[in-house]
Amino acid sequence: MTTTYELSDLDQIEAESIHIFREVAAEFERPCLLFSGGKDSIVMLRLAEKSYSPASLPFPVMHVDTGHNFPEVLEFRDRRIAEVGARLVVASVQQSIDEGRVTEETGPRASRNRLQTTTLLDAVGEHRFDALFGGARRDEEKARAKERVYSFRDEFGQWDPKKQRPELWNLYNGRIRRGEHIRVFPISNWTELDIWEYIRREGIEIPSIYLAHERPVFERDGMWLADSDHVTRMDGEEVVTRRVRYRTVGDMSCTGAVESTAATLDEVIAEIGATRITERGATRADDRVSEAAMEDRKKEGYF
Amino acid sequence: MELLRFATAGSVDDGKSTLIGRLLYDTKQIFQDQLEAIERTSLQMGNEYTNLALLTDGLRAEREQGITIDVAYRYFATPKRKFIIADTPGHIQYTRNMVTGASTADLALVLVDARNGVVEQSRRHAFLAALLRIPHLVVCVNKLDLVGYGQEAFEKVKAEFREFAMKLDIADLTFIPVSALHGDNIVDRSPNTPWYEGASLLHHLEEVHIASDRNLVDARFPVQYVIRPQSDEHHDYRGYAGTIVGGVFKPGDEVMVLPSGFTSTIASVDTFEGPVDEAFPPMAVTIRLTDDIDLSRGDMICRPGNQPTVSQDVQAMVCWLTEASKLTSRAKLAIKHTTKVARVMVTDLQYRLDINTLHRDESAEALVLNEIGRVSLRCTQPLFFDEYRRNRATGSFVLIDETTNATVAAGMIIGAGA
């Protein structure tokens, strides 16, 4: 603590996020924290811990499980959530498929990405969640740059970018009717680099796939996709072993790896500082569908 | 590293999006895939050059219509500072968005087209920046390339702007001649304007002194959430969680809690990492008191010798934010002020302010979307507030329509009284 009463940039955005976490716990009846095991949700979980300390989290943690996860990430999820002492709710895309709520795409480019929306919204209804914490950041994507911290969703879970509630100072309006909910994004103002610097500062553990490792991969659309049972390779897509790391954690079927030798957090941060491609542009097939891919999915109720 | 939040405002064709695109581009915040995407779109739209404005227009309708619909947030950093830009559209119908973006800004950046000089919208932007008490205002006189980089056009805008700004309460006003399209005076001083002796825009953003903008005098801590762990280990723990919005709090400080008026002493200021020696804005902490007194969300911890105003009757300037309804006398609404939620009745609409001429229309009977006026409010419970000009956090509120749940107004408190 200094006598100049100045907070570093990381301390300032951390304080803003904690304020948001506490506001939701105070004003909503049934919040829930979405957790994917990715770096953003790891930071979210730490911020939640800090917000209510020394009490435990006043809400459960939910993972929308596509069934196409990296095994390292699932193992990490269970361990980390046990450490925090939180209750884990798993919403399963496989179950939505088995129950006929959604139809699985077929072919080599099949993805369960879009199916998650139904699974997510079903879980919101089943558990009557009124606020869902998400780890989306405004620097990730153009549509997200315009989304509020409290993002209102109607009874269909839809986001309407033209009908967003004005959000002033740190006065958030969380009033909803039954069946509606709010997506809350406490780390809206964090950048990818902030996330990594915070992980380093806090000494938080991350899933091993974020660090460079040898992996059998094949090239598709300029990305390295992991060779797994969840993806059917097309003609000419040959499996090679490369030293890679992941910049985002999503489905094995749509998350690409980047070639990297960064085996430590410091090396990852140095690499990100020098990179010239956005994390979603580099590694997410789901965002490459069109200019408005994210906007369209969000309108349907996606994360 | 310090964090600077700034809001940008400009008319449709002032080149605001281009300026932001230029800042991001020249500070190397634009990534290769983003640049390739806008190069493709520019080509498709028949632009002669890469349209940097496309970087900031996120929604489909915006790209199609070439307009900005909503506040967008952008991020960039230099070795000196980290920046958050609230990019707000300048159209006449979007005062709402400017007020939103300005509410958290340390600095406002207003663009004026050097060819057109100070127009109605420039005045409106300056007025809103002053109303929202943004401590620093930077006027970029843009498109200087189109007036041959002449000093005369720059000085003319400066004089016109100053004349209007004199009627406003603006603490720090700076003028910079730029061409966003060509990058003059954006990152580096431009050789095209040898007559200009000031800093480039980026240099100014990096150096402007913001640390003293916070109120470190009036200790204010609105109780946000009460932490009472349901565990054996912390059985007797009772902590008041919240964000410091004014002053400094230390263990041992004598404090007063409102509304009860009881006094107590701070036992500790806790964080996840452990207790701290002192806490100041905008830290989020948990305060424990030596006495077991009744305190809950919406209450306020302050000092016995420095209390906020406590009143059910509030005078305020409000900006109406919705087209779905209007503000009239006798209207009943929900209010959110610090961590307190209550109901208010509009007891009087005193006047509507013409934000172009600053004329006060006392015959006005309603405020509609984007209109600003002075009102008297009667609240169902006392609010603990300071003048907005003294503390933006304890002086601001929003009004919510209880039927639609929409946020319908932004308010800035002037004082107590009916």
Contacts A25 to B, Cβ<8 Å: 225
User: Residues A21, A161: one domain?
Assistant: yes
Q: How confident is the model at residue A226 (pLDDT cuts 50, 70, 90)?
A: confident
Whether residue A85 is contained in a domain is answered as yes
Give the CA-trace dihedral at B127, B133, B134, B135, to 10 degrees: 120
Q: How confident is the model at residue B59 (pLDDT cuts 50, 70, 90)?
A: low
What pLDDT, on a 0 to 100 scale, did the predictor assign at position B58? 61
Task: Tell me which chain B residue has its CA closest to the CA of residue A160.
Answer: B59
User: Residues A160, A282: one domain?
Assistant: no
Contact B79, B90 (CB under 8 A): no
Q: What are phi and psi of A136, to 5 degrees?
A: -70, 145
- Å between A140 CA and nearest CA of chain B: 10
- B78-97: average pLDDT: 81
Extents of the domains making up chain B: 2-213, 221-302, 309-416
Say if residue A1's pLDDT is above 50. no
Share of chain A above pLDDT 70, in %: 91
What pLDDT, on a 0 to 100 scale, did the predictor assign at position A275? 67
- Å between B280 CA and nearest CA of chain A: 7
Higher pLDDT, B222 or B75: B222
- B199-203: average pLDDT: 96
Contact B55, B91 (CB under 8 A): no
Question: What count of other Cβ atoms lies within 10 Å of the Cβ of residue A90?
Answer: 13
Nearest to A21 by CA among A45, A46, A51, A50: A51
What pLDDT, on a 0 to 100 scale, did the predictor assign at position A118? 87
Cα Rg, chain A, nearest whole Å: 19
Whether residue A78 is contained in a domain is answered as yes
Whether residue A4 is contained in a domain is answered as no
Whether residue A222 is contained in a domain is answered as yes
Higher pLDDT, B39 or B324: B324
Of B34, B286, B393, the CB nearest to A278: B34
Tally the residues of chain A.
303
Contact B27, B76 (CB under 8 A): yes
Task: Tell me which chain B residue has its CA closest to the CA of residue A18.
Answer: B284
User: Residues A188, A239: one domain?
Assistant: no
Question: What count of other Cβ atoms lies within 10 Å of the Cβ of residue B78?
Answer: 16
Tokens at B214, concatenated:
């916070």
User: Residues A269, A185: one domain?
Assistant: no
Task: Tell me which chain A residue has its CA closest to the CA of residue B270.
Answer: A53
User: Residues A271, A222: one domain?
Assistant: yes
Contacts A292 to B, Cβ<8 Å: 59-60
What pLDDT, on a 0 to 100 scale, did the predictor assign at position A228? 83
Whether residue A200 is contained in a domain is answered as no
| ipTM of predicted assembly, 2 dp | 0.93
Average the pLDDT over each of B75-79, B183-187, B358-362, B390-394 and give the range with the smallest value: B75-79
User: Residues A123, A171: one domain?
Assistant: yes
Q: How confident is the model at residue B119 (pLDDT cuts 50, 70, 90)?
A: confident
Share of chain B above pLDDT 90, in %: 66
What pLDDT, on a 0 to 100 scale, did the predictor assign at position A103? 85
Q: What are phi and psi of B36, to 5 degrees?
A: -65, -40
User: Residues A157, A250: one domain?
Assistant: no
- A152-174: average pLDDT: 91
Domain at B309-416: CATH architecture: Beta Barrel (2.40)
Q: Which residues contact A2 (CB under 8 A, 6 or more apart)?
A: none
Share of chain A above pLDDT 90, in %: 50
Contacts A201 to B, Cβ<8 Å: none
Whether residue A3 is contained in a domain is answered as no
Tell me: the pLDDT tens digits for B346-376? 999 999 998 888 899 999 999 999 899 999 9
Q: Say how far apart CA A145 and CA A143 lie, in whole Å.
A: 5
Higher pLDDT, A210 or B211: A210
> Does the distance separating the beta carbons of B225 and A22 come in below 8 Å?
yes
Per-residue exposure over B377-404, b if at least 16 CB sit within 10 Å of its own CB, e if not:
bbbeebbbbbbbebbbbbbbbbbbbeee
Tell me: the pLDDT tens digits for A92-110? 888 888 888 888 888 777 7
Whether residue A202 is contained in a domain is answered as no
Q: How confident is the model at residue B55 (pLDDT cuts 50, 70, 90)?
A: low
Of B97, B283, B397, the CB nearest to A7: B283
Q: Which domain holds residue A120?
A: 9-194+292-300
Contacts B2 to A, Cβ<8 Å: 6, 8-9
Size of interface A-B (CB pairs under 8 A): 182
> Does the distance separating the beta carbons of B211 and A6 come in below 8 Å?
yes
Highest mean pLDDT (candidates A17-26, A31-40, B28-37): A17-26
Highest mean pLDDT (candidates A61-70, B167-176, B198-207): B198-207
- A72-76: average pLDDT: 90
Q: Say how far apart CA A169 and CA B398 lie, in whole Å.
A: 9
User: Residues A217, A264: one domain?
Assistant: yes
Whether the upstream peptide bond of residue A54 has omega within 30° of 0, thus cis, is: yes
- B76-104: average pLDDT: 84
> Does the distance separating the beta carbons of B211 and A52 come in below 8 Å?
no
What pLDDT, on a 0 to 100 scale, did the predictor assign at position A99? 86
Number of domains in chain A: 2
Higher pLDDT, B34 or B7: B7
Is residue B2 classed as helix, strand or coil in its secondary structure? strand
Q: What are phi and psi of A220, to 5 degrees?
A: -145, 130
Considering chain A, what is the average pLDDT of its residues?
87
What pLDDT, on a 0 to 100 scale, did the predictor assign at position A2? 47
Question: What's the start-to-end Cα distance of chain A, in Å?
Answer: 37
Which of A49, A168, A248 to substitute to test the interface with B, most B CBs within 10 Å?
A168
- Check for a shared fold between B221-302 and B309-416: yes
- B180-208: average pLDDT: 94
Say if residue A185's pLDDT is above 70. yes
The DSSP secondary structure of B360-399, one letter per residue, reads EETT---B-TT-EEEEEEEEEEEEEE--TTT-TTTSEEEE
- B96-100: average pLDDT: 85
Nearest to A172 by CA among A143, A141, A140, A133: A133
Contact A237, A219 (CB under 8 A): yes
What pLDDT, on a 0 to 100 scale, did the predictor assign at position B105? 94
What pLDDT, on a 0 to 100 scale, did the predictor assign at position B69? 66
Highest mean pLDDT (candidates A137-151, A155-169, B106-120, B241-255): B241-255
Whether residue A218 is contained in a domain is answered as yes
Higher pLDDT, B116 or B25: B116
> Does the distance separating the beta carbons of A161 and B70 come in below 8 Å?
yes
Higher pLDDT, B233 or A58: A58
Q: Say how far apart CA B386 and CA B398 lie, in whole Å.
A: 15
- Å between A22 CA and nearest CA of chain B: 6
Tell me: the pLDDT tens digits for A271-300? 877 766 666 565 655 555 555 666 777 677
The domain B221-302 belongs to what CATH superfamily?
Answer: Translation factors (2.40.30.10)
Q: Say how far apart CA B126 and CA B109 lie, in whole Å.
A: 9
- Å between B345 CA and nearest CA of chain A: 19
Tell me: the pLDDT tens digits for B132-142? 999 999 999 99
> Does the distance separating the beta carbons of B224 and A26 come in below 8 Å?
yes
Q: Say how far apart CA A302 and CA A287 lie, in whole Å.
A: 12
> Does the distance separating the beta carbons of A50 and B272 come in below 8 Å?
yes
User: Residues A188, A73: one domain?
Assistant: yes
Nearest to B243 by CA among B213, B207, B219, B267: B219
Nearest to A6 by CA among B238, B210, B135: B210
Q: Say how far apart CA B275 and CA B258 lie, in whole Å.
A: 24
What pLDDT, on a 0 to 100 scale, did the predictor assign at position B148? 94
> Does the distance separating the beta carbons of A12 and B282 come in below 8 Å?
yes
> Does the distance separating the beta carbons of A170 and B100 come in below 8 Å?
no
Average the pLDDT over each of A188-192, B33-37, B85-89 and give the range with the smallest value: B33-37
What pLDDT, on a 0 to 100 scale, did the predictor assign at position B67? 60
User: Residues A269, A214: one domain?
Assistant: yes
Q: Which fold has domain B2-213?
A: Rossmann fold (3.40.50)
Task: Tell me which chain A residue has its CA closest to the CA of residue B133.
Answer: A169
Considering chain B, what is the average pLDDT of its residues?
90
> Does the distance separating the beta carbons of B284 and A22 come in below 8 Å?
yes
User: Residues A34, A169: one domain?
Assistant: yes
Tell me: the pLDDT tens digits for A28-53? 999 999 999 999 999 999 999 999 99
- Å between A96 CA and nearest CA of chain B: 31
Q: Say how far apart CA B217 and CA B198 lie, in whole Å.
A: 33
User: Residues A221, A138: one domain?
Assistant: no
What pLDDT, on a 0 to 100 scale, did the predictor assign at position B57? 61
> Does the distance separating the beta carbons of A9 and B282 come in below 8 Å?
no
- Å between B74 CA and nearest CA of chain A: 7
Tally the residues of chain B.
418
- B311-318: average pLDDT: 98
Per-residue exposure over B317-353, b if at least 16 CB sit within 10 Å of its own CB, e if not:
bbbbbbeebebeeebebbbbbbbbbbebebbebbbbb
Say if residue B62's pLDDT is above 90. no
What pLDDT, on a 0 to 100 scale, did the predictor assign at position B143? 94
Is residue B119 classed as helix, strand or coil in its secondary structure? coil
- Å between A209 CA and nearest CA of chain B: 24
